[in-house]
Structure 1
Amino acid sequence: MGDGATRSVLLVVGGGIAAYKALELIRRLREHDVRVRTVLTDAGTRFVTPMSLQALSGERVFSDLFSLTDESEMGHIALSRGSNLIVVCPATADLLARMAAGLADDLATTVLLATDTPVLVAPAMNVRMWTHAATQANVATLRARGVAFVGPESGLMACNESGPGRLAETDAILSAILHGLSPDRPLAGRSALVTAGPTHEPIDPVRYIANRSSGTQGYAIAEALAAAGADVTLVSGPTTLPDPAGVHTVRVETAREMLDACRHALPCDIAVCTAAVADWHVAPAAQKIKKTADAAPPALQLAPNPDILAMLSQPGPTRPELVIGFAAETEHVLAHATAKRERKGCDWIVANDVSPGTGVMGGTENEVILITAAGREHWPRLDKAQVAHRLVARIVTFLQTPHPNPE
């Protein structure tokens, strides 16, 4: 893959049942001509062997901080800085805690403390360990220091508990690594705001108004923008998706909370509004509305929600250079989306048909029409990640081409 032979990853394999997945990750990286050297923790040796790591990587496996041979030939300082990216997979709760505390009591933590190389971690642990306040504080500390995360995901784990803490899928980790290794970062120095997912507008403490948006397309766009070098803030409504790698994610629930988070993210260069924001909200009841045999259904008094896309599109000193909206339609897609672009004042609209049977809303694929002042582009049905990368390529072209300021 071109200059891929020059790309190098140092893989730190932590202890945990998910450590076996590091073997598949090494194989996939080698398929992409990425050199992989490994540091195996003492706990990691309980799950994978140095021989298996060496056989797949074709490289020596390092584990002993006090090996005189390693210190004379390599040294932990040189090892910590001899790769383009350091990947910790799996990153256990203990390893995250030691990274956050700045400990250096074995080769893995010494390398991580001594490095000035970008670090990507893929956490894997029991759901209660992941959600524990101590782990979340450690994660926040590491994020603030610039450490990137991929996952964890939600699902059934080896301990037979289910929830967040499952190691991200190999494809997701591989994608995050390849993005981190990419020398082409045309949006470096640019900032981007992405909204994604639904909003939940409470009716009472247990009910809410919502829609079927999964947030998948918006998350893919946020990750693609980050891979292109942008400093990305993702404002997400309620979803089950893990935070994208290299992205600052702000979780909200209602449209008004999303509006506030977007305002705090300004100024920025690019805004991409994929969120399926509820058009209306109600004044929620303080207690659960009870159904009785002789009572009529309650009348819900709807009030309009703020228009986030229109707010971002308003001329002014904080207006992004490029504002992109999404139009999810079930009929007359092109006509409704074109009218929405004119009504909102945004630069581009990405229109898609979400009518029943398309499988777009909540699915993995999308078929869109990009509507700009210059015309329209019909894109074929693609995986949502492919749609994201294609859109980011168009964004890069737009920002690199001289154009008049919006009126």
Structure 2
Amino acid sequence: MVSISASVTPTTLSTLAGKRILLGISAGIAAYKSALIVRLLKQAGCEVRVVMTSGAQAFITPLTLQALSGEPVRTSLLDPEAEAGMGHIELARWADIILIAPATADLMARLVHGMADDLLTTLCLASEAPRLIAPAMNQAMWRHPATQRNVTQLHADGWQLIGPAAGDQACGDVGPGRMSEPDAIFEVVARLFSGAPQAGNAPHVVITAGPTREALDPVRYLSNHSSGKMGYALAAAAVAQGATVTLISGPVALPTPNGVTRIDVESAEQMHQEAMRWAPEAALFIGCAAVADYRSASPAEHKLKKQEDSDTFTLTLIKNPDIIADVAALPTEQRPLVVGFAAETQQLEHYAHDKLKRKGLDMIVANDVSQAGLGFGSNENAALLLWRTAQGTEQRLESPQPKTQLAQVIVRQALSLI
């Protein structure tokens, strides 16, 4: 259940009072949540005007949104009365921000190509206001290469993505693509007006998280115990400190942090491809994923059968690409500040120093995963932080603490080095 009043604090009321929000709604079952977004914004003192695509009206009526916003809902670019005074240009100039929630794959594609074939896309072209977009679609549509290309271009064009979240979907699938909840979207809007850096001038942080899976056959794979909790905590911490965040995630059972653009991958090769695609655009790259060092030389096309006449089974493994080293080796004009992680079971400081130097990193976060209750799968972690300075290498030991708290420390230190 969404709490309608949980995010409305006195500070938020003073920050948002009088702000003009243009809310665009496109077709999708998540359109019903847009009513809650309007209500939250109105409770915070915002002026809200709603623009709906023709498809959106099949899921929620303009009358509902008019009643909640207190303003007529615009649905057509060719409204004779509204356009008598070039109403779409006036509306575009009126908005302090444009928020589209939900945004379908189709709408995102049309925005990428600069189409202006309805009122909402026309307003987006005609406005210079900050723009937020909350995608909502089937998990396969979200993962499709065409959609991911559009996500990249929208980001480059100045759009700030909110979510999507992962979980059960109306079609019965499970995965990323759910629209972020109304209170999470509201918090991003509030943060935009709070004075924190936003998409245009915020540092872009790219983070890898979770494990990778290396296929042996269609049903088996090599992996590890990484839960992704540390990487996801880093992503949330970076957003909280004003960064624009792209999270490249292996398979985990975690929701996407608010305000984070998430890209899902399975194998180390896929993670490497996405990391090399996004790293040159970033100011900071944090390699927190537990990437498999090796993969099968030749994954079987069909399920491997047990060999009844032998008690042993031999696999031939080959090295995976070294993601963090390849990012650190980028040309100077493309290279972000690079932070790596080292999960060790002994000689923590020795191996951390060695990896920092050998991989060409700017900073490393080393943790002893042999300690009970810390590291993989747990909610707490301890770490040794090492970073390069003009004078040499400095370090600090962080005692056991919640991963969310440690993430704030790591991100703050990394951002200070940019």
Shorter-chain TM-score bucket reads: 0.7 to 0.9
TM-score by length of 2: 0.72
- The alpha carbon displacement at 1:147 in A equals 3.5
List runs of 5+ in structure 2 lacking aligned partners.
Answer: 1-10, 387-393
Over the residues paired in the alignment, what is the CA RMSD in angstroms? Answer: 4.4
Contact 2:213 / 2:222 at 8 angstroms: preserved in 1?
yes
1:291 and 2:306 correspond: yes
The structure-2 alpha-carbon separation of the partners of 1:6 and 1:218, relative to structure 1 and needing over 3 Å to count, comes to farther
Contact 1:13 / 1:89 at 8 angstroms: preserved in 2?
yes
Residues 254-265 of structure 1 aligned to structure 2 (within 5 Å): 254-255=267-268, 258-259=271-272, 262=275, 265=279
1:4 and 2:23 correspond: no
Of the three residues 363, 381, 396, the one matched with 2:415 is 396
Of the three residues 332, 352, 363, the one matched with 1:341 is 352
List runs of 5+ in structure 1 lacking aligned partners.
Answer: 400-407
The separation in 2 between residues aligned to 1:73 and 1:94, in whole angstroms, is 30
Indicate the percent of aligned positions where both proteins have the same amino acid: 42
In structure 1, the residue matched to 2:399 is: 378
Cα deviations by residue, 1:229-259 (Å, 9 ceiling, x for unpaired): 6566654444577887887766654445545
User: Which secondary structure state, in structure 1, belongs to the residue aligned with residue 310 of structure 2?
Assistant: coil
- The alpha carbon displacement at 1:381 in A equals 1.9
- The alpha carbon displacement at 1:66 in A equals 4.8
1:167 and 2:165 correspond: no
Contact 2:136 / 2:178 at 8 angstroms: preserved in 1?
yes
Cα deviations by residue, 1:126-182 (Å, 9 ceiling, x for unpaired): 556656787677666645544443344444333445555432333443344445545
Contact 2:16 / 2:190 at 8 angstroms: preserved in 1?
no
User: Which secondary structure state, in structure 1, belongs to the residue aligned with residue 102 of structure 2?
Assistant: strand
1:277 and 2:291 correspond: yes
Residues 8-407 of structure 1 aligned to structure 2 (within 5 Å): 8-30=20-42, 34-57=46-69, 59-67=71-79, 70-71=82-83, 75-96=87-108, 98-100=110-112, 102-126=114-138, 142=154, 145-162=157-174, 164-181=176-193, 183-185=195-197, 188=201, 190=203, 192-204=205-217, 206-219=219-232, 221-222=234-235, 225=238, 234-239=247-252, 253-255=266-268, 258-259=271-272, 262=275, 265-266=279-280, 269-287=283-301, 288-301=303-316, 305=320, 307-309=322-324, 317=332, 322-328=337-343, 336=348, 338-345=349-356, 346-351=361-366, 358=373, 361=376, 365-369=379-383, 371-372=385-386, 373-378=394-399, 380-381=401-402, 384=404, 388-399=407-418
The structure-2 alpha-carbon separation of the partners of 1:360 and 1:32, relative to structure 1 and needing over 3 Å to count, comes to farther
User: Which secondary structure state, in structure 2, belongs to the residue aligned with residue 375 of structure 1?
Assistant: strand
The separation in 2 between residues aligned to 1:11 and 1:299, in whole angstroms, is 58
TM-score by length of 1: 0.73
The structure-2 alpha-carbon separation of the partners of 1:341 and 1:313, relative to structure 1 and needing over 3 Å to count, comes to farther
Cα deviations by residue, 1:247-284 (Å, 9 ceiling, x for unpaired): 77666544455456545635864231111112344423
The separation in 2 between residues aligned to 1:347 and 1:205, in whole angstroms, is 39
Higher mean C-alpha deviation, range 80-89 or range 372-381: 372-381
User: Which secondary structure state, in structure 1, belongs to the residue aligned with residue 17 of structure 2?
Assistant: helix
How many correspondences in the alignment?
Answer: 392
The structure-2 alpha-carbon separation of the partners of 1:251 and 1:124, relative to structure 1 and needing over 3 Å to count, comes to closer
